[in-house]
Structure 1
Amino acid sequence: MRLAIHHPAPIPATYRAARVASLFNIVDDADFRLELEVDLEARPWQIGLIVGPSGSGKTSAAKTLFGGESKEARWPDAPLIEAIAPGGDFNQVTGALAAVGLGSVPSWLRPFAHLSNGEQFRAGLARLLCERPALAVVDEFTSTIDRRVARIGAGAFAKAWRRGAGQFVGVTCHEDVTDWLQPDWVLDTRRGAFAWRCLRRAPRIQMDIRATNGSFWPAFEPHHYLKLPRMVAANYYVGFVDGAPVAHLCVSTRPGMKEARGCRLVIMPEWQGAGLGLRFLNEVAALWRRGVNRYQKPMPMLFHTSHPGLCEALRRDPLWAQVSASLHGDNRKRSEATFKASALRKGTADRSGSKGGHGGHFRAVQGFRYVE
């Protein structure tokens, strides 16, 4: 089909308009015109991209090709986990949030209006993944957010969108998302061209992993889904991309020095969704399995987590085997009694005892062992 856009703008008979037209040799009118061949029926497709600078006809092209007005989704004043697909499956919602890189669990409990621009962008993509319309057209796609978040988020969304049905069209003035979104076709309004593309791999991200100390943990701690003290006698590992710390993991040994235990896995929010977390964890686990540690002793690694998205990823990965699952915490009253008896034996508490204790929650903790 031939895409033809014409926005008439006759020059009014006023002094200023006439002077500008005369100064810059504009004759007859200031109409906007865009014409090009667009054949969207030539191949099956799932993702398209309309790209070009402001004022080049992107939005008009989207309306002409796909019809309708772009409507901004309304968000209720409710936590994100309740606002997305309220009648849908809980695991589907958490999976969608993790798939687009919004893996920071505290953000799931905040209303949409309380999120940062980058988090709102990813939340909108997660909502699209859950609602799965036959056709979704998103104007100003990635236009208002940090470019790193835009690229990583676009790549994460594209990977998740292709797992299901439906067609998605992004409309943006930023060409840098093209290699990450990997659209089936691109309509470039700057050059007035339409082209089909062959799918390629997203750009590679080179990460350097270093054994460090606990000095990096304060930067990562706010983004961990649990508030816990530092691990005892831990070995710290940090992943760096272009010199910036983006991934964190602690590893300690279990009694008997036969196994290691990984914990405190954190990926900085702007890098979530790029697949760095599991690759980082796998590489550190492989180092310990080969005995590349300060003990110079090969040890398989155990890893426990409550994060639904990470649990699903570990179950899919052939390098890991699930070895345990607890759907709730232990009896808190019994734990408090144990703490109290221990304090009395040591003479560190009076008869009122300690009020501390573990358990009494519904946090599902799942355990995995690195088996490669």
Structure 2
Amino acid sequence: MQINVSYPTLPKVPSSHASLVMDHFGLTFDTAEHVVARDLHLPIEPGQIVAFTGPSGSGKSSLLRTAAAELDGVINAATIELPDTLVCDALGLPFEKAVELLSLVGLSEPRLMLRTPAELSDGQRFRFRIAAAFAQKPQWIVIDEFTATLDRTLAKVIAFNVRRLSEKQGIGFLVATTHEDIAEDLTPDLHVRCDLDGEPVISTNLETNSELIAATASRHSRPSIHEGDRTRAPRGAGCSKRISFADRCVITTGSRLDWPYFTRWHYRSHNLGSVRFVTVLWHDDRPIGICVFASPPLSLAQRNRFFRRKSRWSRLGLRVLNRQLVHLSRVVLHPTYRGAGLAAAFVRQSCEAVPFPWVETLAAMGNINPLFERAGFTRVGSSTTTNSDRRRHSAIYGSPTKRHGPASKQKRLLSQESHIKSRFAAPVYYVFDNRSEFERRRSAGRTAE
């Protein structure tokens, strides 16, 4: 692609002041032209990400528009109209696909999905338009002022996910921005750096990656693993690319006192029960995630299926259960960091850190979001009920026994709050086999003694 961009600097309306400006700065009718690019060759290929960066007024937006005009199947995200429907309905996709796409642009919060796009903030509308553009499956998406209205951490998360979505869907991007801090996560295939003076400078993906590798090598090394407090940086969960700030994220042990900070982002019961272990994920000095491990419920129907046990437990059996198994009851990640590729690694490393050989969990969104599969859990199966009666709903978690009278039956029921919030859910039961890590840690402890 060969493009030329220039603008006449002659005044549209002649005036005495305009004549004085031209006289003072030596502008004539022959030289009154501003050239942004002359015969600039852009080797753009389908499915690539092309980023135009530079200060305001450097011509990046002009180059963006000129390049977009030469391509077919282009959607300009800025021109997408905001429909008068709820965000969860506005993409015109099946529910699971819509939630997945909204999650990748940071709009998976229930309070946001239940609003209309017009009710969102400017930054949220920007993200919605990215999702709406993707939903139309064009060949190219054009975005000017890319991530300009977002806080810089969220901007990196969005850039990271645009790269992932582009590779997954084969959709190309043309973006223009003044912010170079997103380049490492966006990893453009073609990077056009504009300046107020001189021709734009073009670098390819290989050249960009070389610069990023050099920059990364000059940073501090990743935090080491300390067995005492189990502090560690999340490793990638099977991803070839990590978000740029992953090295500045660490996991520490916590307590139930850390939980109240995260309850605002958890929509079911805030009661924790008997807490056995807690981990907290930090980005620099900011807590951004929590995993809470509690005593296992007395009986879960899918657990009995996996471990091939009957629903009744003896006193000895209950002691063994509490020594061998812990229940991951809460996983919460700050909304800004969802889609950053941290959640699965955080969950997996938290499970590896618990002093139990087995970890189990129930996930209400397990049929939509395969988070626990990515974290290394085994999916056992889902439990459903077509009856919203509280007692029948409680049967999902193990049928109450009749041997000890009505009082014990009442204790075995779900709380009224949990019943109301989850009576139509179909939770998926997962199991994490932590035996090898558990034995390794126990052996290391014996050696240290």
Category of TM-score, reference length = shorter chain: 0.7 to 0.9
| Counterparts in 2 of 1:93 and 1:263: CA distance versus 1, 3 Å | same
Partner of 2:327: 261
For residue 86 of structure 2, the aligned residue among 58, 79, 84 is 79
- SS of alignment partner, residue 382 of structure 2: strand
How far did 1:167 drift?
1.4
Partner of 1:314: 372
TM-score, reference length from structure 1 = 0.83
Q: Which runs of 4+ in 1 moved over 6 A?
A: 336-339, 341-344, 354-357
List per-residue Cα deviations over 1:256-299 (Å, max 9, x = no partner): 312111122111112121111111111110112xx2xxxxxx33
Partner of 1:295: none
Aligned partners of 1:330 and 1:358 also within 8 Å: no
How many residues are aligned here? 353
List per-residue Cα deviations over 1:216-275 (Å, max 9, x = no partner): 333322222x23122112233211111111111111122531211112211111212111
List per-residue Cα deviations over 1:140-191 (Å, max 9, x = no partner): 2111121111111110221122111221111212111111111110122226
- SS of alignment partner, residue 291 of structure 2: strand
Partner of 1:326: 383
Q: Which one-letter code corresponds to 1:111 in the other structure?
A: T
Separation in 2, partners of 1:58, 1:156 = 23
C-alpha RMSD of the superposition = 3.3
Partner of 2:157: 152
| Counterparts in 2 of 1:26 and 1:37: CA distance versus 1, 3 Å | closer
Partner of 2:361: 303
1:131-142 paired onto structure 2 within 5 Å: 131-142=136-147
| Counterparts in 2 of 1:103 and 1:264: CA distance versus 1, 3 Å | farther
Aligned partners of 1:47 and 1:169 also within 8 Å: yes
Separation in 2, partners of 1:181, 1:62 = 17
Separation in 2, partners of 1:356, 1:91 = 26
Q: Percent identity?
A: 22
For residue 66 of structure 1, the aligned residue among 61, 65, 68 is 68
Q: Which one-letter code corresponds to 1:138 in the other structure?
A: I
Separation in 2, partners of 1:251, 1:150 = 32
The answer to whether the aligner puts 1:184 opposite 2:189 as a matched pair is yes
How far did 1:76 drift?
1.8
| Counterparts in 2 of 1:242 and 1:43: CA distance versus 1, 3 Å | same
Separation in 2, partners of 1:114, 1:192 = 39
Separation in 2, partners of 1:38, 1:20 = 30
- SS of alignment partner, residue 186 of structure 1: strand
Q: Which structure has the highest helix share of the two? A: 2
For residue 175 of structure 2, the aligned residue among 156, 170, 180 is 170
Separation in 1, partners of 2:164, 2:90 = 23
Partner of 2:52: 50
| Counterparts in 2 of 1:69 and 1:161: CA distance versus 1, 3 Å | closer
Q: Which 5+ residue runs of structure 1 have no aligned equivalent?
A: 292-297, 349-353
Q: Which one-letter code corresponds to 1:271 in the other structure?
A: Y
TM-score, reference length from structure 2 = 0.69
Separation in 2, partners of 1:55, 1:194 = 18
1:1-372 paired onto structure 2 within 5 Å: 1-11=1-11, 13-28=14-29, 30-36=32-38, 38-41=40-43, 45-67=47-69, 70=76, 71-85=78-92, 88-190=93-195, 192-198=200-206, 200=209, 201=241, 202-206=243-247, 207-224=249-266, 226-234=267-275, 235-254=277-296, 256-257=321-322, 258-288=324-354, 291=355, 298-307=356-365, 311-317=369-375, 319-328=376-385, 331-332=388-389, 334=391, 358=419, 361-371=423-433
List per-residue Cα deviations over 1:336-356 (Å, max 9, x = no partner): 9999x999859x9xxxxx988
